[in-house]
Structure 1
Amino acid sequence: MSISLERGAGILMPISSLSSPYGIGTLGEDAYRFADWLKEAGQKYWQVLPVGPTSYGDSPYQSYSAFAGNPYFIDLDTLVKEGCLAKEDMDLVWYEKEDSVDYSKLFENRACVLRKAFHNSRHREDYHYHNFCNENAFWLEDYSLFMAAKAYFSYKPWSEWDDDIKFRNYDAIQRYKGMLSEDIDFWKFCQFKFFEQWSKFKNYVNELGIKIIGDIPLYVSLDSVDVWANERLFEMDDRKRPTLVAGVPPDCFSEDGQLWGNPIYRWSQMEAENFDWWRKRMSSVCKLYDVIRIDHFIGIVRYYAIPFGSENAKTGEWRMGPGERLTRIIDEIAYNAAIIAEDLGVLVPPVRELMQKMNWPGMKILEFAFDSGVTNEYLPHNYKSDCTVLYAGTHDNDTIVGFVNSAPDYVCKYVKEYLDTENEKDIPREMIKACYQSIARTVIIQMQDVLELDTHARINMPATTGSNWCWRMKPGSLKTEDALWLKKKAEIYGR
């Protein structure tokens, strides 16, 4: 049985958003320094979002693998200390702006540097490496072949590969394994280094009394090893084309609904296999995180299925998911972790009932609270239970400063009235304080809101592409005065 969250506060800060001289946040010195700052700030939680390898679009919610770690997060300075790299190997242009990730430069440079580390490493003589490969073979073998083949086919989606490897013909699999053996070993090496560094990082964070919150997207990407290697578990035809994809129906915010494009699980097959894939997924995730936030939890109870090839989400229909049959297994596997159910959206009674039965907290967003009067369910005075996780805003929301700058006048007026302030500049701190004052058991604040940054620091604008997942904290941003302010509020409000 999963554990419960204690009353406390935390910060949402993706690993990618940490400051770093190498273009993107890593599991290096800046990650440890941020953990120290969290401790100084009296924080109990660090939410990092998914940490898997990102695909086209750079979203951590569209990953090449539900099990692998992101090689971009491997700390290069650690590899220098281990003798795998020389300092001059990193003398490359990693970014143009120190507060933004340049994914094109990372794609050009990071693999080249990691390959140097791979060739200089003596990992083949390291029994820890061989143990890692053996213990994770159930996903690592397919993942490393998938990534090697993807590079071989110029990073095209697996659906555009040659038919023999696309359909995983046995002879073709053996041939590609032989032909790409060096590259396959490279991708295994990257995973070994990621998890080696993650383990040390997590131990350090936990020793400070801080728990790591990580997300798992409900669905996986179509262009992922999970689908390529396990098509029987997804609604696919005999040509390995999806027949149904995920999304949400039209609503007042979107006339056409949202067409996500992720393949729908074939739940009947999942259940026939006693949810073995989900058991392995949860076991793997529990090694990464102390608290697991299940993204789009609603889809476990009922899911919106859209015929593949549809232009929009209007043609979809609701279907029943596995519900408690799956959540009981998740609860069983995640016995040493806490669960958060991301329940944003229109909730039908079965969703609320299942969350209550599992005693899993849902979510509230304070930025959603000020547009419909005093009965708005997101206003703290309307919370009926402490079994909730309250955010001022998540990675999908604007920063507080950006929210205030773009909100209609009537919303800004009510925000000021509710927070009892006349000065717009005070709103970020007053909103954080309102979260801390609430009965919500757990409060999570974006780091950008502690720093009082505007819209340019927004992490993600849903249903858009281009500049998402790019924000990075500038070096020198961690201030003791901010930490002490948060710590004082945590003490005052029992967090």
Structure 2
Amino acid sequence: MEHSTRPTELPRAAGILAHPTSLPGAYGIGTFGREARDFVDLLVLSRQRIWQMCPLGPTGYGDSPYQCFSALAGNPLLIDVEQLVHDGLLAEHDLHSLTGFPTGHVDFGPVIEAKMQVLRLAADTFFAKLGDPSTDVTAARFRRFCRDNAFWLDDYTLFMVLKAEFGGSAWSEWPDEQLRMHEPQAVAAARERLQDEIRLHQFLQYIFFEQWLDLRAYANRSGIEIVGDMPIFVAYDSAEAWAKPELFLFDEHHQPTSVAGVPPDYFSATGQLWGNPLYDWEYHEKTEFAWWIEIIRHKLAMFDYLRIDHFRGFSAYWAVPFGDTTAERGEWQPARGRQLFRRIREVLGTPPILAEDLGFITDDVRRLKHEFGFPGMKILQFGFDSGQEMVNEFLPHNYEANCIAYTGTHDNDTLVGWLESAKPADRELAYEYLHSDGTRPHWDFIRGIYSSPAAFAIVPLQDILGLGKEARMNTPGTLGGNWDWRFTQDMLKPDILQQLARLSELYGRI
């Protein structure tokens, strides 16, 4: 996979934010299958040019795509099982156990159990059919994939197999101390002993990336570019934290000395305690940021643009003492983002990085963003919150051209939900500013960002559909009931597509 070298300067375009798990489909969760291609076709019909999504990694406890078992692996739940039938790896009757799930949300627990059983059947067939890599094209591609991605795939696959062997527990709780501490001899012995299960996870990653790159190519051929997403931190229960403790601020027992979060803010009065391990920036600088270079190179091969979540953490990060139950006692600690991005430019050119620059943003963060020309984010909902000091920054007449404007994000309530719970003064201000009579306010908000100077105008699908708080994707600081929203094909009616297309034409975003 070749990485992109496009400049970060953005063209004027419109797009939709929708995670693939939210797509329609018969098998419990959205995938990279025909419904994803149908969605691309709908983007084309509505004169959109951008599809933005959340991270695509394998999710852990809480099902959050921002807390993954790996910084580089893909989520097997997104694999299209109908394509596996087409490829001869499954029979039609193998899919019966995946039917009967809800269509309006993802029931993650049962879906994961049922889908993994089906994917295991496909893997068994795949390896039974696999031939000589010198003559079999599929065998050669599979082995080349494993070889080219060994720098992360070897650790990840063993990590996932060991997690299963130890009942799904976090690696920090594994009873075998030598494996827990990633002792080389114990790891080598486990790799030898567990070869068959390791192959299953190699297969899942191979299929994930084959299907993803096919979908991305389809989107690009249709004139649709993909904005991918990358969390700045990795999860503590991840292959990287287990296999590469030198990357992080760990003690001699591989426990964090402090963990990531953010101080009290708009979303939470006690801050957000994420619990991610923090980077040993001194180590990364000594290695010329080699690990980061591999991560960014890999992501740029997957997406047309890469949004990095919590960009302010490259300037300074909120370090919370390990063991605290809230993020209130954290302290700001300096990071080495400037040195990192200089090195990235030396190796990768000018990568198309977008900065999630929300939250507590200080002058040093702004200087870092502007020095490297990374477009930032503007959230229209924030423009009408009288409790925010920087309310004007989020009003469209103040947007600079090289930024991305949103009605809201995956962490916000939907527009309709926000309007229902907003202070009356804030709601009236929004209606006055947007010349809205309140009958179809979500369209007035969409028009507000489409008509702004912002290069990209991106709207969560829930806001395009005018849905209420029941369709909210995530409520920060909470567990349960997040990330599970799905839409059905009949929701995107022709008049909605026509309205979007007209706004894109009217405001020069086609």
What TM-score results when the alignment is normalised by the length of structure 2?
0.94
Q: What is residue 250 of structure 1 aligned with on the other side?
A: 264
| Mapped contact 1:95–1:105 kept (Cα < 8 A) | no
Q: What is residue 191 of structure 1 aligned with on the other side?
A: 205
**Structure 2: where are the runs of 5+ without partners?**
133-138
| Mapped contact 1:166–1:228 kept (Cα < 8 A) | yes
Tell me how far 1:312 sits from its aligned partner. Answer: 2.2
Alignment of 1:347-366 (within 5 A): 347-366=361-380
Counterpart residue identity of residue 246, structure 2: R
Work out the CA distance in 1 between the residues paired with 2:310 and 2:402: 18
Tell me how far 1:2 sits from its aligned partner. Answer: 5.0
Tell me how far 1:234 sits from its aligned partner. Answer: 0.3
Work out the CA distance in 1 between the residues paired with 2:163 and 2:313: 30
Q: Could you say if the C-alpha distance between residues 333 and 18 of structure 1 is closer, same or farther in structure 2, counting changes exceeding 3 Å?
A: farther
Q: Could you say if the C-alpha distance between residues 140 and 239 of structure 1 is closer, same or farther in structure 2, counting changes exceeding 3 Å?
A: same
| Mapped contact 2:382–2:391 kept (Cα < 8 A) | no
Tell me how far 1:485 sits from its aligned partner. Answer: 1.3
Q: For 1:313, what is the secondary structure of its paired residue?
A: coil
1:146 to 2:159 alignment? yes
Work out the CA distance in 2 between the residues paired with 1:484 and 1:72: 32
Moved more, 188-197 or 448-457: 448-457
Q: What is residue 414 of structure 2 aligned with on the other side?
A: 399
Alignment of 1:18-37 (within 5 A): 18-37=23-42
Q: Could you say if the C-alpha distance between residues 124 and 475 of structure 1 is closer, same or farther in structure 2, counting changes exceeding 3 Å?
A: farther
- Alpha-carbon displacement from aligned partner over 1:384-416 (angstroms, at most 9, x marks no partner): x21211000000011111111111211221121
| Mapped contact 1:52–1:65 kept (Cα < 8 A) | yes
Q: For 2:489, what is the secondary structure of its paired residue?
A: coil
Q: What is residue 505 of structure 2 aligned with on the other side?
A: 491
Q: 2:149 aligns with which of 122, 136, 149?
A: 136
Q: 1:415 aligns with which of 401, 411, 430?
A: 430
Alignment of 1:24-103 (within 5 A): 24-94=29-99, 96-103=101-108
Q: What is residue 135 of structure 2 aligned with on the other side?
A: none
Work out the CA distance in 2 between the residues paired with 1:198 and 1:468: 24
| Mapped contact 2:263–2:318 kept (Cα < 8 A) | yes
Work out the CA distance in 2 between the residues paired with 1:407 and 1:319: 34
1:381 to 2:386 alignment? no
Work out the CA distance in 2 between the residues paired with 1:256 and 1:206: 43
- Alpha-carbon displacement from aligned partner over 1:368-393 (angstroms, at most 9, x marks no partner): 1112299622111223x212110000
Q: Could you say if the C-alpha distance between residues 12 and 57 of structure 1 is closer, same or farther in structure 2, counting changes exceeding 3 Å?
A: same
Q: For 1:247, what is the secondary structure of its paired residue?
A: strand
| Mapped contact 2:27–2:101 kept (Cα < 8 A) | no
| Mapped contact 1:282–1:333 kept (Cα < 8 A) | no
Moved more, 294-303 or 364-373: 364-373
Counterpart residue identity of residue 379, structure 1: L
Work out the CA distance in 1 between the residues paired with 2:54 and 2:188: 36
- Alpha-carbon displacement from aligned partner over 1:463-494 (angstroms, at most 9, x marks no partner): 01110000011132232322221111111111
Q: Could you say if the C-alpha distance between residues 333 and 13 of structure 1 is closer, same or farther in structure 2, counting changes exceeding 3 Å?
A: farther
Q: 2:317 aligns with which of 303, 310, 316?
A: 303
Q: For 1:364, what is the secondary structure of its paired residue?
A: strand
Tell me how far 1:335 sits from its aligned partner. Answer: 4.1
Q: 2:383 aligns with which of 369, 372, 379?
A: 369
- Alpha-carbon displacement from aligned partner over 1:81-136 (angstroms, at most 9, x marks no partner): 01100111110255642110010112211110000000111346511000100000
| Mapped contact 1:259–1:313 kept (Cα < 8 A) | yes
| Mapped contact 1:290–1:336 kept (Cα < 8 A) | no
Percent identical residues: 43
Moved more, 400-409 or 261-270: 400-409
Q: What is residue 338 of structure 1 aligned with on the other side?
A: 352
| Mapped contact 2:98–2:115 kept (Cα < 8 A) | no
- Alpha-carbon displacement from aligned partner over 1:299-333 (angstroms, at most 9, x marks no partner): 00111111211232232211111021112233455
Q: Could you say if the C-alpha distance between residues 253 and 117 of structure 1 is closer, same or farther in structure 2, counting changes exceeding 3 Å?
A: closer
Work out the CA distance in 1 between the residues paired with 2:346 and 2:229: 18
Q: For 1:92, what is the secondary structure of its paired residue?
A: helix
Aligned residues: 493
Tell me how far 1:160 sits from its aligned partner. Answer: 0.9
Alignment of 1:165-184 (within 5 A): 165-184=179-198
Q: What is residue 446 of structure 2 aligned with on the other side?
A: 432
| Mapped contact 1:286–1:334 kept (Cα < 8 A) | no
Q: For 1:16, what is the secondary structure of its paired residue?
A: helix
| Mapped contact 2:272–2:476 kept (Cα < 8 A) | no
Q: For 2:384, what is the secondary structure of its paired residue?
A: coil
Q: 1:158 aligns with which of 171, 193, 205?
A: 171
| Mapped contact 1:2–1:334 kept (Cα < 8 A) | no
| Mapped contact 2:98–2:111 kept (Cα < 8 A) | no
| Mapped contact 2:226–2:304 kept (Cα < 8 A) | yes
1:451 to 2:468 alignment? no
Q: 1:213 aligns with which of 206, 227, 241?
A: 227
1:118 to 2:123 alignment? yes
What TM-score results when the alignment is normalised by the length of structure 1?
0.96
Work out the CA distance in 1 between the residues paired with 2:53 and 2:345: 21
Work out the CA distance in 2 between the residues paired with 1:99 and 1:61: 22
**Structure 1: where are the runs of 5+ without partners?**
none
